[in-house]
């Protein structure tokens, strides 16, 4: 914003709507793609891709645009993920809130680091989240599931993160950038 003294024109409704839409972009984009991934297209591993996508988006936006993704929105996205997964409700909410909290806790160190460090940190977060999801699902359903689904979800999240992050970086610097509001 211009810090020079003097009279400046009042910001109009269109400018305010532009700023609001750019602020809402991270949550809206995460939710829209999550809903698109829920379409019954018969893709193998579709539920794990939904989970990997959501983990990556929450992690990325919590690091680089934390004001645009408050915990209440993370809760709502996690609830939507749980309802679409048809598993025990609350596991996705808890894990996404934990991912959000971890990203916020280490935000300063990670945003100053290179992409490799951010990716390694995400791999650790995704491993903990996938293991936690498997343990909580087994505990809440009183059934031991094979860990292959959790391992596959972790592998997808870790492997797809560079592609997802590249897409999110382009959005973060482009149409979602709040400083580009006109």
In terms of C-beta density within 10 A (0-12 exposed, 13-18 middle, 19 or more buried), how is residue 149 classed? middle
Task: Give pLDDT, residue 98.
Answer: 97
Long-range contacts of 2-5 (CB under 8 A, 24+ apart): none
- CA gap 30, 36 in Å, rounded: 10
* More confident position, 174 or 82: 82
pLDDT tens profile 4-44: 676 766 678 887 888 788 888 899 999 999 999 988 888 88
Per residue in 54-66, pLDDT (tens digit) is 999 999 999 999 9
For the stretch 155-168, pLDDT in tens is: 999 999 999 999 99
pLDDT of residue 17: 84
Lowest-confidence segment of 42-46, 58-62, 135-139, 144-148 by average pLDDT: 42-46
CA distances, 9 to each of 30, 91, 166, 180 (Å): 35, 49, 37, 18
pLDDT at residue 71, as a whole number: 95
Please provide the average confidence, as pLDDT, over all residues in the chain. 89
For residue 154, pLDDT beyond 90: yes
Q: If pLDDT is split at 50, 70 and 90, which confidence band does 81 have? A: very high
CB 22 within 8 A of CB 178: yes
Q: Is the pLDDT of residue 137 over 60?
A: yes
Q: Which of 1-5, 41-45, 110-114 has the lowest mean pLDDT?
A: 1-5
Report the predicted TM-score, pTM, of the whole model to 2 decimal places.
0.88
């Amino acid at each position: 914003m211009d810090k020079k003294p003097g009279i400046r024109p009042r910001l109009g409704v269109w400018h305010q709507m532009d700023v609001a839409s750019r602020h809402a972009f991270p949550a809206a984009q995460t939710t829209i793609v999550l809903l698109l991934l829920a379409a019954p297209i018969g893709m193998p591993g579709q539920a794990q891709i939904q989970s990997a996508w959501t983990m990556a988006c929450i992690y990325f936006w919590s690091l680089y645009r934390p004001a645009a993704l408050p915990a209440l929105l993370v809760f709502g996205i996690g609830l939507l993920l749980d309802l679409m997964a048809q598993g025990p409700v609350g596991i996705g909410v808890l894990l996404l809130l934990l991912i959000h909290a971890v990203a916020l806790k280490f935000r300063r160190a990670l945003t100053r680091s290179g992409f490799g460090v951010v990716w390694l940190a995400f791999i650790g977060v995704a491993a903990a989240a996938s293991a936690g999801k498997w343990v909580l699902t087994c505990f809440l359903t009183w059934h031991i599931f094979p860990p292959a689904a959790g391992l596959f979800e972790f592998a997808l999240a870790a492997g797809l993160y560079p592609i997802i992050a590249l897409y999110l970086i382009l959005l973060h610097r482009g149409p979602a950038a709040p400083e580009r509001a006109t």
